[in-house]
Structure 1
Amino acid sequence: MTPLIGIEEEYLVVDPWTRHVVPRAAEVLAAATDVLDVTHEITRFQVEARSVPSADLNELGVRLRATRKEVAAAARSCGLAVVASGIPVLGDVVPAPLSDDARYEQGRVLYRALQDEISICALHVHIDVPDEEHAVYVGNHLRPWLPTLIALAANSPFFVGRDTGYASWRVISWGRWPVSGAPPYFPTFADYEQALHALSRSGALMDPKTVFWDTRPSPTLPTVEVRVADVPLDVSDSLTLIGLIRALVVTALADVARGDRGQPYPSEVLRAAYWRAARDGLLGDSLDVREGTLVPASVMAGRLLAHARQALDDSGDLPFVEEGMDRLLRRGSGAVRQRQAHARTGHLAAVVDDLIEATVA
């Protein structure tokens, strides 16, 4: 049976005249009365859209496009716009204004200046799994592929007025948190639970929702949540990544059913692969964590596709995902498009203008 998929996409609220992010998410949410599930995020710069779970990638695409257009229309009614970018291009965002929620205020006390740059937007993908234990072992199997997903999704090269030199500055900024980035390898579910107890005692965790690893058992749903990707600029890129992620999870579940809980690739090697993928995206070389060798990012993307091919074929998603991967490798991720928009005029305002248009294209 093909597992259900649920998705969450986060967007930034911007002033279309100044092109700066603005803390007016509450106004957009109040106007978005026709959107089935859109909610606030940790900062007042952001809104989050959620999908109804579906096993059909095409159906998810229809819903996601409609949701983006409806949220954008709500923003326009307030004299605002929304953009799908992993991090703010322009604006005064440090420290970030938090949404009204006692939990966020508690986090400010616990995490302090880490919250200053938390105005980041990601794509979160939930895939049905039997239970938390399976979710942990699926995470083991996904670890070596997470850097490639980062490269494919990279969409945050500019941060508040400057080119960071990275394709995904969101990944670098987010990686400073105590429980973030690639999950550790866990040989047993008991090891996972023991690690969470120790992290809680250390103060690094406020509650189960602050387990911010890029794969994790959802704290509220019977799913594995994969949260490694910048929010893509293009809906088709989002769907390509969603299809790939489900196929990786299905492939991992089959391996787990055979007693394979994944390989313990060293965390320090995976961290280096993350850095390389976040810096270069699809334009440079990638570190193949399994072999410890540098290969062109396009080759690594091909290896990921080959690894997930059978699951993609079984779900009927293979032609769509192959086409999407080919498109990404030919024209690049959102980071490439952002830099191209900047190169045309030399002004970051042009980048924001392009983001506004492309988010709902």
Structure 2
Amino acid sequence: MAPLIGIEEEYLVVDPRTRHVTPRAAEVLAAATDVLDVAHEITRFQVEARTPPSADLDELGVQLRAARKEVAAAARSCGLAVVASGIPVLGNVVPAPLSDDVRYEQGRVLYRALQDEISICALHVHVDVPDEETAVYVGNHLRPWLPTLIALAANSPFFVGRDTGYASWRVISWGRWPVSGAPPYFPSFADYELALRALAESGALMDPKTVFWDARPSPKLPTVEVRVADVPLDVNDSLTIIGLIRALVVTALADVARGDRGLPVPSEVLRAAYWRAARDGLHGDSLDIRAGTLVPAPVLARRLLDHVRPAVDEAGDLDFVAEGLDRLLARGSGATRQRRVHARDQNLHHVVDDLIEATVA
């Protein structure tokens, strides 16, 4: 049986008249009474919707669409809107206004100006695994494929009024944090525990929840949490990426059961692959980490599907995921759409308008 999946999607609250992000998330949350699980995030620009665990990708799609629809309706009732974008397109966001939470204030003291650009929105995918040690080894196997997921999900080219030149500025901005980005390779669970103790001693961690690696054992659930992707603009893109992530985890679980703890890709090489994927997205070349050569990003995306094809097929998702991947590669990610809208008249207001519409389309 395919393992259960739980999803978290983060959205930005915007004023539909100015098209700027606005720190009124609390009003949206108060109005979102029909959403199963919606919560505040670190800044007052953001809200997060969560799905109940499910093994069925179709069911997750129903839940995600319903959550987006209800959160958007709650925002409209307050004269606001929500957008699925990895980072704010317009607005005065530096420093970001933090939500009322003692923990967030503690983070401001610890992380200081790193909090200034924390208004970022991601897709988090929880996949059931037997235990924390297995989650660590699964993370080892996921590492080489994380840049490809970045390219597929890229949806943050504009940041507060300018084109960054990147398909995912969220990945670049977030990568400055001390415990973020791709996880290190851990040859043993003891090495993982030793690293966490050292990170805590250094002051880089407030607690286990501030281990922000893009694939990590969840600090509170028996899952591996994959948090590498910008929040996609299109729910179907979210589901395609979710299906690929679950299949990556299932494939890794089989490898770990055979005693394979993953390929020890050097962190410097993986960091460069991250940078390239965040810059170019699906339009350009990506680094084939195993070969150390550049290949077209769509080629790596298809290699990812080939790598996990048996697991996707076993889950009953092969047709949906393959068609979703074809669609993504043909029309591009959310970053492509944002730039396409902007190219019409160079007006970022129209980019935000399109994000508002497409978030619930």
1:236 aligns with 2:236: yes
Q: Which amino acid aligns with 1:290?
A: R
User: Residues 1-361 of structure 1: matches in 2 within 5 Å?
Assistant: 1-361=1-361
Amino acid at match of 1:305: L
1:8-29 deviation digits (Å, cap 9, x = unpaired) = 0000000000000000000000
Q: What is the alpha-carbon distance in structure 2 between the residues aligned to residue 213 and residue 63 of structure 1?
A: 26
**What is the CA–CA distance in structure 2 between the aligned matches of 1:270 and 1:207, rounded to whole Å?**
26
- Give deviations 1:268-326, integer Å, cap 9, x for gaps: 00000000000000000000111111000010001100000000010000100000000
**Deviation of the 1:80 alpha carbon:** 0.0
User: How far 1:345 sits from its partner (Å)?
Assistant: 1.8
Counterpart-to-counterpart distance in 2, 1:125 and 1:290: 25
Q: What secondary structure is seen at the aligned counterpart in 2 of 1:204?
A: coil
Which amino acid in 2 is paired with 1:164?
T
**How much has 1:346 moved relative to structure 2?**
1.0
Take 1:320 and 1:87, find their aligned partners in 2: how far apart are those partners? 28
- Once the two structures are TM-superposed, the CA of residue 357 in structure 1 deviates from its matched residue by 0.1
Shift of 1:344: 1.2
For the residues of structure 1 that align with 2:30 and 2:230, how far apart are their CA atoms? 26
Give the Å deviation of 1:263: 1.0
- Distance between the aligned counterparts of 1:42 and 1:110, measured in 2? 14
Instruction: Give 1:341 deviation, angstroms.
Output: 0.8
CA distance in 1: counterparts of 2:112 and 2:275, whole angstroms: 24
Distance 1:63 1:110 in 2: 36
Q: Aligned residues: percent identity?
A: 87
Tell me which stretches of 4 or more aligned residues in structure 1 moved more than 4 Å. none
> What letter corresponds to residue 90 of structure 2 in structure 1?
L
Using the alignment, how far apart are the partners of 2:84 and 2:29 within structure 1?
A: 16
Q: Residue deviations 1:104-152, cap 9 Å, x none?
A: 0000000000000000000000000000000000000000000000000
The one-letter code of the counterpart of 2:217 is P
C-alpha displacement of 1:189: 0.4
Shift of 1:57: 0.0
What SS does the corresponding residue of 1:242 show, helix, strand or coil? helix
SS in 2 for 1:306: helix
Q: Distance in 2 between matches of 1:345 and 1:102?
A: 44
Match of 2:251, SS state, is: helix
- Aligned length in residues: 361
Separation of aligned partners in 1, 2:13 and 2:332: 25
